Structure 1
Amino acid sequence: MLKSWLSGLEEQYSGCLYAKDSIPLLLLLKKVLSKVHVPEETEKKIAKAASEGVVVYAIKQQSQLNALIIRESAAARGFPRPSFAHDTNMLFWQPFGKAIRTILALLLLPLFRRQSPEPHPRAFVRKSVRRGDAVIVHLGMSELTPNKQVEDSLSQLLYAQWEMDRPVLVVPTLVSYGRRRDIERESLINILFGQTEGTGTMRRVITFFRYSNKASLLCAGPVNLREFLAENKDLSREEMIDRLRGELIERIDEEKTATVGPILKSRQELISMVLKDEQVQRAIEQRGSGNRKGYEAALKEAKRYLNEIASDYSEMYIELWDKVLGWLWNNIYDGVVVDRDGMTKIRNLSKKMPFVVVPCHRSHIDYLLLSYVFYKHNIQMPFIAAGTNMLFWPLGAVFRKSGAFFLRRSFRGNELYGEVFNGYLNILLQEGLPIEFFIEGGRSRTGKMIMPRYGLLSMIIQAYAGGACEDLAIIPVYLGYDRIIEEKAYLKELGGEQKKDEKATDVIKSGKVLRKRYGHVYVNIGEPILMKQYLESQDKTYAEMSTEERQRLYRKTGYEIVLNIDKVSVVTPFSLLSAGFLWSDRRGISVDDLMEVLGHFRDYLQARKVRFSETFGDMDKAVTSALGLFEESNLISRVGEDEDLPDEGEEVVYSLPEENRLNLEYYKNNILHYFVPVCFLAASVALHREDVLSLQEIMEDYRFFKKMFRHEFIFDDRVDDLEEIREVLLYLSQKGMVAISGGEAGKFASIEVKGKGKRNLVPFAGLIRNYIESYWVVVRSCAYLVHGRLPDREFTKKIRGLGERMYQKGEIRRSESLTQSNYANALRFLEDMGIVSATEEAEKGEKRPVRYWSISENRTALEGLRRRLFRFL
């Protein structure tokens, strides 16, 4: 009987974990442990591993708390629950009866058997795995530090795999206690409780209870031991163990870097590193004029610049923004729709190299939107480049603490500032810290992508080429909003009002903004540019490029970034509905006509395989909901049914007041780039009265529009114009709008507009009508320059005045054509054509040089443009 009773104690170990909860666990930790977040990606990895073999969880530190977190998370989510934690005393957390049996086993078995339980806990790892149970093993902090317990447990895993056919999958597992970065400095707290990398028990418990709602269970890709043994069969057992341990630790460390980032030096340490940079030192010496006193003055100036530039990252502010922005997205907005596959792509890239995220810029909220999304998806926080205009009180200090660093609009004439800023960027990349900057420079007031600015991009490419890091990922990001909170301010600026200085109240105007709902926010990730591969694909190495060739490289890279942003922009009910109202200059449209036009627009977009928001699952429901929000916002109004007219009694008409067209123009522009090729073709078809058009005529009009609107839209110059038109014509042919006549070798020669083709193309042509009208106003305004040059402010005022008069007289019909941004881009086009020219001159009493506009003596080009443009009106 004693023998039978003793045999029941042979598998009683202090590391055993049981399905039944203990009283201490229920009383102290059960509720807190349930708050631990397990990302969907982690669940999928573990579920896949469980379907393929036996799961072993590998963690770096021996930890009761980590073992309990894995146990509870597994039990709650249905993936393999560990039955044993090797080399970890879980006695306190075992059910009372089991704990007593474990103690008896430890005391009695050595007396009667003269040995510990059969034969040692490490053998129990092997036995558990062979029968298919999940277990937890720890790896120690570094593969460079010998650890017999770790080596024994890994050895037992390898033996288990040798003895069984079913694969053993070791899952590198990280328990992240909140999102606090490791800080590279010793403090009293660190000395007493341990740094966050080598967390002591006391700190781990305190940190977990403080940040339990932010704790996460993460895992990297598992190591298949059957494959590992096959790949390393020539190694000795000890070498295999070392390699396996190193591989698992490396994967956990990569996961941690992706989540919280590399060890962060203090602000002052980073500033000191910049000041020691050779190029910065050289710039200080040059500014100091070679003498001691001058050098000290220049050094003081450089420090002042760095204090203005440098971020002062604080986790406390990130946690504060998590609460504030979480409330914002779910109260002012209806939530953030995130590209989850894109987030996974960023997370995986961040394990291999530093990265730079380059979003489009629509709203002040953009500054913290990506940080919020990264925080929620366990991706390290980026350091955000912001203009010094964002240093307004009190949010400037808050932004700095939240990871923002600041740059001036222009470095011109200040070489020292440029070198200091370059040095700071270089140090950020050297330290492996992610960067975020807006390639458009400022917020887009029109809803379209602004032409890229190359300054900051060129500095980042220079830093990479100079050896700041081995590789670098540049990641385009689309940020979109159903509606933006700055809508009214943008309308004023488009109408010609001067841009005002930033104020805290511009970010969130607590009164009116907080009482409105602004729809959804969208975050989509574009195709990353990997700089090592990208530069290797160029005709010359970066070192061999001339200054002019490097400038071309920066322009090319900038355009690839904005093109990739455009490609992942999302079509929302707001943007599509805005296009449906604005294709015509009519004051109202019936629901039937509106739905017909929206159907044509949607079909074309679907053929181009663009992204639609999730709400487009039901087109009618999405449009009805958007119409309701437009009505609530007084953007449109419903014209009631007339009971006295039975034939029209069922018709519902929506009226769009002229003063609201510009509001909708912003959202139409969010998706206009998708329509540009078909708009150009439709405008060409609408111009000709005949139903048969030669391909040559269409191509001439297409190239004219593309040249004229070079500053309005982002064009992919890698795509041949003829190929782009061919794709549009094939689509229109499939829809029965046109018939294509072939030429030699299968090439198109002409098209014939069929049936309702011309009628159905009119809405597409109407989408760019306001741009044609804007450019017509500016071309007409050139007459003001015939008698002499004019300063920019006066000339712009005359253009606006002429536009208003032409609109009132009916010479142009779209109120949204009367916008400052369109006029400015039209002037840039005329400047490119050599029709007008601009010069800048310094004038007394003016802070900045004054720009003057003049007209060319040769008026032939202007007259030719006037005639050609007038044909499209």
Structure 2
Amino acid sequence: MVNFDRVYEDILSYRSKEFSHFVWANKKCNPRLAVEQPTRPSPFQHKQAVLNSLKIKDLLDKLSITLNVSKDELGTQVKRILDEIAYKKNLNIIRALAIALTKICLKVCNGIQVNFNGISKLKSYMGQCPVIFVPTHRSYADFIIFSYVCFTYDIEIPAIAAGMDFQGMLGMGEILRNTGAFYLRRAYSDDPLYWTTFKQYVYQLVTKGDLPIEFFIEGTRSRSNKSLIPKYGFINMILKAFFFSEVPDILFVPVSISYDRILEESLFAFELLGIPKPKETTKGFFKSLKILKEHFGNVYIHIDDPISAKAFLGDKVDRSVHSLSPLYQQEMTDEEKSLISPFGYEIVRRQQNANVITTFNLVATVLNVNLSLGNEFMSIDMLLAEVEYLSLILTNLGAYIFEQNFRQGLQQSLVVHQNLIRIQSNGAIGLVENSIVLDAANLSKLKGHTFSQEVMNYSVPFVMLQMYTNPVLHHLKDVAFIGVVLKSVPNLDKDELFQHFKFLKSLFANEFVSFNDWLEKDYDAALEHALTENLIVTKNASYALAGTAKLNNIFRNSIEPFFMSYFVVLDVLLKSSNFCEEKNILVNAQQWLEYVIDQRDVFIHPYCLSLETLGNCLNSLCNMGVLKKRIRNKAALFEIDQHKVEIVKGRLEMYIPEVSVILNFNKHGKNKL
């Protein structure tokens, strides 16, 4: 259950009042550990334990015979792998970074808001079993800021699973390692020595370590600022220790980290449009320090109640099966593996429910609706009224909105986001007109279609604005689905409406992180909310749309870009051969959308161009059996069932009648594609 005991304190405010950050950073440390032990294990001891483990010795015996390589040589390789992976802890470096981060945050942030009660509860749970922090991943700043929070509240800084990208940064990789980062390669499934060594290292940290462990269940930063489908590899490694009865329990702590303004917002917009992210380098890190001249508002960190593996999983499996043979020779059973997926989705859902909605999330949603209706600007009084109206709706839907003084919050938002929002001389507020300059190197590496400079300039601000709307969609989407259905197919009984709802939830399962086991509960909750908000009414055991135009626009326009993107993908698939490469599909979809956007005859939100959304559509269609994905020459190839594509497209088209307007471009000879 989500912890709605929302009492926040600004930990940065304490630093702003002190005479010396040096004195604070050099305080006596007696941090709360995940597992209290008579003698604390050192990072070196963990490496030695892995090297001497029966699992590794057994692997070396087998590989020595298979590869005709001496065990000593293989053992040397394991040592090198462990040196590459393993974390270190240097308190002096941690203290120095605490001072540096304090100075940076005081310069660019209003505050770092942390739910104090969540910290207090967490510390009371720690000491008896492994503790796993699972934060959302919206920025590279996530793990740095969360470690800063741990240091502030005297919680041991966790061992943090980090990508090898950071390890390769000259100097920075080793600094991060000394604060607890341990590194994993992005791809290593074809290297049994590395794979087994890494898994055994994680197993060692869980079963014999005293530090909390931190990993990002989404696997990568979310460029769209909404939750991604959970990845199971790391959670699988951690839960193995519980299933093998090596630990009495494991506590997973969902952590939601939100930002008034995301550090990488413009880079993420470029990536969503197809421009690859720049490589992480030390030089790039120092170039990024130009942010010290900008302002980013608040950071919000909500630590939710821990999820006990024992309570969630314990009565669903028989762990005694692992007592029949040596543990190092065993793997998890199929029954145990089947529990990983619902557990991962539960963590993501808890993160979503704990998320803090900021004033600018509301502003972005209101501006998006206004722009979708063809209004370029709105007055500040109108914007304030719409923000307050939306906040009431979202609060009723279970969202937590941090700001209560919306006039003050709006004024601060306009300062923080002056790079994105412009204010006319008459006080009217709208979106900036951006100017993007792309060099030839960037253009040659595009993952999708090469846009014209005009469309790129026009699209980037819209994409950035949608990124701040996306966190709100977790609360709006299900009610929006019901509203969209009933606008197109009125007077449905509960079972008929459920079938439409089920189809949309399935189609957008990758877009809005939906788990099939939640379907009926999600439907009942959405129906109740739609009735409470007077969006729909009941007539003779049937449901019909009833909300005001303003209410309908909020729900409908918030999700319309995703409907349009999916429709275009389906249209492209119907015009493709039975086998088509992923990049060709993405390029054709973006090209089609670029033409329509460039015509400006009808408003199409440029977020429809997002490669993430187009890719999510393809993945959902694979899950629905419409496509089959294969890998050929390291490129994704889709086998297309044209009949099934046509059925899905027909069903989706009934919910977006505006598509017929766009399709008329063909009839009038306007569409050259």
In the alignment, which residue of structure 1 is the partner of 2:44? 268
In the alignment, which residue of structure 1 is the partner of 2:606? 815
Question: What is the alpha-carbon distance in structure 1 between the residues aligned to residue 556 and residue 24 of structure 2?
Answer: 57
Partners of 2:161 and 2:184 within 8 A in 1: yes
Please state whether the residue corresponding to 1:512 is helix, strand or coil.
helix
Corresponding position: 1:624 with 2:411: yes
1:471-521 per-residue CA deviation (whole Å, 9 max, x = no partner) reads 221111111111111112111111112233222355463453111001111
Corresponding position: 1:498 with 2:276: yes
**1:871 positional shift:** 2.2
Corresponding position: 1:837 with 2:628: yes
1:30-88 per-residue CA deviation (whole Å, 9 max, x = no partner) reads xxxxxxxxxx99xxxxxxxxxxxxxxxxxxxxxxxxxxxxxxxxxxxxxxxxxxxxxxx
In angstroms, what is the RMSD of aligned CA positions? Answer: 2.8
What amino acid is the match of 2:271? E
Cα distance, 1:794–1:655 mapped onto 2, change above 3 Å: closer
Corresponding position: 1:669 with 2:470: yes
Higher relative contact order (CA 8 A, sep 6+): 2
Partners of 1:773 and 1:812 within 8 A in 2: no
Partners of 2:114 and 2:302 within 8 A in 1: yes
Cα distance, 1:442–1:308 mapped onto 2, change above 3 Å: same
Corresponding position: 1:387 with 2:176: no
Structure 1 residues 654-733: aligned runs within 5 Å: 654-655=430-431, 657=433, 658-659=458-459, 660-688=461-489, 692-715=491-514, 717-721=516-520, 723-733=521-531
Cα distance, 1:533–1:865 mapped onto 2, change above 3 Å: closer
Corresponding position: 1:574 with 2:360: yes
More divergent stretch after superposition (435-444 vs 662-671): 662-671
Of residues 569, 572, 577 in structure 2, which corresponds to 1:778?
569
In the alignment, which residue of structure 1 is the partner of 2:81? 305
Question: What is the alpha-carbon distance in structure 1 between the residues aligned to residue 431 and residue 258 of structure 2?
Answer: 27
Please state whether the residue corresponding to 2:621 is helix, strand or coil.
helix
Please state whether the residue corresponding to 2:509 is helix, strand or coil.
coil
Please state whether the residue corresponding to 1:413 is helix, strand or coil.
coil
Cα distance, 1:279–1:500 mapped onto 2, change above 3 Å: same
Structure 1 residues 451-850: aligned runs within 5 Å: 451-507=229-285, 509-510=287-288, 512-541=290-319, 543=321, 547-584=333-370, 585=372, 586-591=374-379, 592-613=381-402, 616-630=403-417, 632-633=418-419, 635-641=420-426, 652=428, 654-655=430-431, 657=433, 658-659=458-459, 660-688=461-489, 692-715=491-514, 717-721=516-520, 723-741=521-539, 749-754=541-546, 757-786=548-577, 789-809=579-599, 810=601, 813-842=604-633, 849-850=634-635
Cα distance, 1:588–1:694 mapped onto 2, change above 3 Å: farther
**1:331 positional shift:** 1.3
Partners of 1:260 and 1:381 within 8 A in 2: no
**1:733 positional shift:** 3.8
Cα distance, 1:533–1:870 mapped onto 2, change above 3 Å: closer
What amino acid is the match of 1:610? A
What amino acid is the match of 1:636? I
Question: What is the alpha-carbon distance in structure 2 between the residues aligned to residue 556 and residue 425 of structure 1?
Answer: 22
Structure 1 residues 67-78: aligned runs within 5 Å: none
In the alignment, which residue of structure 2 is the partner of 1:112? none
**1:860 positional shift:** 2.4
What amino acid is the match of 1:680? F
Please state whether the residue corresponding to 1:451 is helix, strand or coil.
coil
Report the TM-score, using the length of structure 2 for normalisation: 0.82
Please state whether the residue corresponding to 1:509 is helix, strand or coil.
helix
Cα distance, 1:213–1:840 mapped onto 2, change above 3 Å: closer
Corresponding position: 1:418 with 2:195: yes
* Unmatched tracts of structure 1, length 5 or more: 1-39, 42-209, 219-254, 642-650, 743-748, 843-848
Corresponding position: 1:866 with 2:643: no
Partners of 1:785 and 1:853 within 8 A in 2: no
Please state whether the residue corresponding to 1:713 is helix, strand or coil.
coil
* Unmatched tracts of structure 2, length 5 or more: 1-6, 9-21, 323-330, 434-457, 657-673
1:234-253 per-residue CA deviation (whole Å, 9 max, x = no partner) reads xxxxxxxxxxxxxxxxxxxx
Partners of 1:682 and 1:761 within 8 A in 2: yes
Cα distance, 1:781–1:575 mapped onto 2, change above 3 Å: same
Question: What is the alpha-carbon distance in structure 2 between the residues aligned to residue 564 and residue 484 of structure 1?
Answer: 21
Please state whether the residue corresponding to 2:249 is helix, strand or coil.
coil
**1:313 positional shift:** 1.4
1:686-716 per-residue CA deviation (whole Å, 9 max, x = no partner) reads 325x6x5543453233222101101011235
Of residues 148, 162, 171 in structure 2, which corresponds to 1:372?
148
Structure 1 residues 417-456: aligned runs within 5 Å: 417-429=194-206, 430-456=208-234
In the alignment, which residue of structure 2 is the partner of 1:314? 90
Question: What is the alpha-carbon distance in structure 1 between the residues aligned to residue 103 and residue 23 of structure 2?
Answer: 19
What amino acid is the match of 1:270? H
Cα distance, 1:753–1:593 mapped onto 2, change above 3 Å: farther
Please state whether the residue corresponding to 2:59 is helix, strand or coil.
helix
Partners of 1:526 and 1:567 within 8 A in 2: no
1:601-637 per-residue CA deviation (whole Å, 9 max, x = no partner) reads 2112211332222xx121222123323433x22x222
Corresponding position: 1:362 with 2:161: no
What amino acid is the match of 1:442? T
**1:811 positional shift:** 6.5
Cα distance, 1:488–1:289 mapped onto 2, change above 3 Å: same
Partners of 2:161 and 2:215 within 8 A in 1: yes
Question: What is the alpha-carbon distance in structure 2 between the residues aligned to residue 469 and residue 506 of structure 1?
Answer: 42
Of residues 632, 639, 653 in structure 2, which corresponds to 1:854?
639
Please state whether the residue corresponding to 1:604 is helix, strand or coil.
helix
What amino acid is the match of 2:93? Y
What amino acid is the match of 2:282? A
Cα distance, 1:261–1:771 mapped onto 2, change above 3 Å: farther
In the alignment, which residue of structure 2 is the partner of 1:170? none
Question: What is the alpha-carbon distance in structure 2 between the residues aligned to residue 462 and residue 258 of structure 1?
Answer: 18
Question: What is the alpha-carbon distance in structure 1 between the residues aligned to residue 509 and residue 80 of structure 2?
Answer: 41
1:709-755 per-residue CA deviation (whole Å, 9 max, x = no partner) reads 0101123545453x54444444444444443346xxxxxx223444x
Question: What is the alpha-carbon distance in structure 1 between the residues aligned to residue 512 and residue 36 of structure 2?
Answer: 38
Cα distance, 1:453–1:753 mapped onto 2, change above 3 Å: closer
Cα distance, 1:465–1:735 mapped onto 2, change above 3 Å: closer
Question: What is the alpha-carbon distance in structure 2 between the residues aligned to residue 518 and residue 804 of structure 1?
Answer: 32
Question: What is the alpha-carbon distance in structure 1 between the residues aligned to residue 276 and residue 194 of structure 2?
Answer: 28
1:229-274 per-residue CA deviation (whole Å, 9 max, x = no partner) reads xxxxxxxxxxxxxxxxxxxxxxxxxx86469987444433221111
Cα distance, 1:418–1:258 mapped onto 2, change above 3 Å: closer
Question: What is the alpha-carbon distance in structure 1 between the residues aligned to residue 67 and residue 410 of structure 2?
Answer: 71
Question: What is the alpha-carbon distance in structure 2 between the residues aligned to residue 433 and residue 765 of structure 1?
Answer: 46
What amino acid is the match of 2:250? L
Please state whether the residue corresponding to 2:338 is helix, strand or coil.
helix
More divergent stretch after superposition (360-369 vs 863-872): 863-872
